[in-house]
Amino acid sequence: MSFRKKAILLSAIVAALAIANILSFVFDPSKPRASSFAWLDPSLLIAADYIEIHGRGSFDDMYDETPVVLVRRNNRWLYRMDSSGQQGTLLPVKQARVDDFLAALSRKAIYPKRAFSSEARAALALEEGRASRILVRGGSGLPLLDLLIGTADVLGRDVYFRNTGKSDIYSGEDFFTLYTESRKEAWFDLRLFPGETGAITVDSIQQAELRFFGDNSEPQSFILRRQSRNEARGGWGIPGETIEIDGLRVESWLRSVLEAEGEDFGFNAPVIPEKSIILRLGDGSMRTIQAGRADENSSTSVAVSGSAFMYMLPEWTVNRLFREKSYFAAR
Q: What residue spans define the domains of the chain? A: 30-187, 202-328
Which pLDDT score, from 0 to 100, does residue 16 have? 45
Cα–Cα nearest to 225, from 209, 211, 241: 209
Confidence of residue 197 (pLDDT cuts 50, 70, 90): low
**Residue 227 pLDDT level (bands cut at 50, 70, 90):** confident
Element (H, E) at 99: helix 95-105
Confidence at 198, pLDDT banded by 50, 70, 90: low
| Residue 179 clears pLDDT 90, i.e. is over it | yes
pLDDT value at 252 more than 70:
yes
Q: Does residue 141 have a pLDDT over 90?
A: no
- 124 vs 218: which has the higher pLDDT: 124
* Residue-level pLDDT at 155: 81
First to last CA, the chain: 87
Please classify residue 226 by burial: count the beta carbons closer than 10 Å to its beta carbon, then call 0-12 exposed, 13-18 middle and 19+ buried.
buried
pLDDT of residue 20: 44
Whole-angstrom distance, CA of residue 313 vs CA of residue 310: 10
Distances (CA, A) of 149 to 47, 52, 85, 167: 23, 14, 31, 13
Q: How far apart are CA 257 and CA 238, in angstroms?
A: 19
Yes or no: say if 313 and 304 are a contact pair by the CB < 8 Å rule.
no
Confidence of residue 21 (pLDDT cuts 50, 70, 90): very low
Highest mean pLDDT among 14-23, 57-66, 72-81, 298-307: 72-81
Phi, psi of 77 (to 5 degrees): -85, 140
- What's the chain's average pLDDT? 85
